[in-house]
């Protein structure tokens, strides 16, 4: 445990120093890695901890992005105010889905289908909303690129990097304590065996709702980050099911239900795939789809040889 803590501190220190020597491209890859680590951590609360498979987490990214982005675009409400609004909106969405599913005892694959359906309905809905700009998208004004303006979330790439690094660190610490609290124990009990959990006095409905609320609230931060980092939002893209799948890949590869899984998975997937694409480009080979093939191969390898993910294997091997 102390060894793990020391490793973590070393990692955090080197990550904090990274912008000093990484170029713009390196920084953008690092931001992408941390983004997926964060979103994966948020998804992991629902699936990894509580065992509720969501295949529609793009819903929360999109709703949060549009709420904070829209408030900024239309009324110049700064994201520091838009963020709480986005958190509330996403939590409400999560609670509605959870209520419908858990009240009517929809679980497993059917629950996953319900989450997809909601993301799809929302995509279609947003396509027809004038307020969001419809299928034509919403574009946020890009300004003030050189100074840090945290309230408006406008600044140089390093600011976005440190913001997502802080989000990742906080999410990690929050999940660390959640797992060791009553909530973590109750969620894992529900994941392992609902009947036994209920027989030990756990109100399964309430605690599942809590898991969905926590996960959707956490994911909304990723959505707001996404909106102000990329500055453009299209329902067709942000709510797309491939976005939801993208979010779950890192924790699945790294280890569902583990604290390090989402981080490790994001490093392996995004880091290596960007690295391979870059190296090939440097050699003068531009192969379209190489990233997707790489994702497929990693996924295949993990499923075949490390069905619990990379982290459980590493932690056993190195006694972390």
Partner 1 sequence: MTALLRVEGISKSFRGLKAVSNGSFELSRGTINALIGPNGAGKTTIFNMIAGVFAPDSGALFFKDRPIHGLRPDEICSAGIGRTFQIVKPFAGLTVLENVMVGAFLREKTAAGSRATSLRIIEKLRLKAEQPASTLTLPDRKRLEVARALATRPELLLLDEVMAGLRPTETDEMVEVFRELNRSEGTTILLIEHVMRAVMALAGHVGVLHHGEVIARGTPQEIVRDPKVLECYLGEETEV
Instruction: Assess 198 for contact with partner 1 (CB under 8 A).
Output: yes
108 binds partner 1 (CB under 8 A): no
Cross-strand partners of 149: 154
In the list 144, 182, 275, 316, the residue contacting partner 1 (rule: CB under 8 A) is 182
- Cβ proximity to partner 1: between 89 and 210 the closer is 210
Task: Kindly give, in sequence order, each residue whose CB lies less than 8 Å from that of residue 168, ignoring residues fewer than 6 positions away.
Answer: 34, 37, 38, 41, 263
Q: Which 27-66 positions form the footprint of partner 1 (CB under 8 A)?
A: none
Dihedral sign for Cα atoms in the order 275, 276, 282, 287: negative
Closest CB to partner 1 among 139 and 185?
185
Please provide the size of the chain in residues: 320
- Here the tokens at position 302 are 């993990």
Whole-angstrom distance, CA of residue 30 vs CA of residue 45: 23
Shorter beta-carbon distance to partner 1: residue 188 or 240: 188
- Backbone torsion region of residue 105, taken as left when φ is above 0, otherwise alpha when ψ lies between -120 and 50, otherwise beta: left
Residues numbered 236-295 forming contacts with partner 1, rule: CB under 8 A: 257
Q: Which is nearer to partner 1, 183 or 250 (CB)?
A: 183
Nearest to 254 by CA among 11, 8, 40: 40
Q: Report the residue from 186, 228, 234, 260 that binds partner 1 according to the rule CB under 8 A.
A: 186
Q: Which of 6, 196, 300, 303 binds partner 1 (CB under 8 A)?
A: 196
CB under 8 A: which stretch of 127-135, 185-193, 242-250, 274-282 binds partner 1?
Answer: 185-193
Q: Centre a 10 Å sphere on the Cβ of residue 302 and count the other Cβ atoms it contains.
A: 21
To partner 1, the closest distance from the beta carbon of 137 in angstroms equals 43
Give the tokens for residue 142. Answer: 């890009």
**Which residues 6+ apart lie within 8 Å of 299 measured at CB?**
249, 252, 253
Tokens of 309: 């993910």
Q: Which is nearer to partner 1, 185 or 294 (CB)?
A: 185
- Please select the residue that binds partner 1; options are 20, 195, 242, 283, rule is CB under 8 A: 195
Q: Which residues bind partner 1 (CB under 8 A)?
A: 180-182, 185-186, 188-189, 191-193, 195-204, 257
């Amino acid at each position: 445990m102390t060894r793990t803590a020391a490793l973590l501190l070393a990692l955090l220190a080197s990550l904090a120093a990274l912008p000093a020597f990484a170029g713009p491209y390196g920084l953008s890859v690092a931001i992408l890695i941390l983004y997926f680590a964060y979103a994966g951590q948020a998804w992991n609360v629902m699936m990894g901890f509580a065992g509720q498979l969501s295949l529609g987490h793009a819903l929360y990214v999109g709703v949060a992005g549009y709420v904070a982005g829209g408030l900024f675009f239309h009324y110049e409400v700064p994201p520091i105010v838009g963020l709480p609004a986005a958190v509330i909106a996403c939590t409400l969405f999560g609670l509605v889905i959870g209520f419908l599913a858990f009240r009517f005892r929809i679980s497993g694959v059917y629950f996953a289908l319900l989450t997809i359906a909601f993301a799809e309905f929302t995509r279609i809905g947003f396509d027809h909303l004038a307020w969001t700009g419809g299928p034509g998208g919403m574009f946020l004004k890009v300004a003030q690129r050189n100074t840090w303006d945290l309230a408006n979330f406008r600044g140089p790439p390093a600011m976005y990097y440190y913001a997502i690094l802080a989000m990742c660190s906080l999410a990690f610490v929050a999940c660390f304590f959640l797992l060791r609290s009553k909530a973590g124990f109750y969620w894992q009990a529900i994941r392992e065996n609902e009947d036994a959990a209920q027989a030990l006095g756990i109100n399964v409905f309430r605690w599942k709702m809590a898991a969905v609320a926590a996960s959707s609230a956490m994911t909304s931060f990723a959505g707001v980050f996404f909106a102000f980092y990329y500055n453009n939002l299209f329902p067709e893209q942000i709510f797309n099911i491939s976005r939801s799948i993208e979010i779950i890949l890192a924790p699945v590869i790294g280890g569902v239900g583990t604290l390090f899984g989402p981080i490790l998975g994001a490093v392996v997937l995004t880091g290596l795939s960007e690295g391979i694409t870059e190296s090939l480009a440097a050699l003068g080979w531009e192969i379209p789809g190489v990233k997707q093939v790489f994702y497929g191969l990693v996924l295949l390898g993990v499923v075949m040889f490390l069905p619990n993910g990379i982290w459980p294997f590493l932690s056993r091997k190195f006694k972390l």
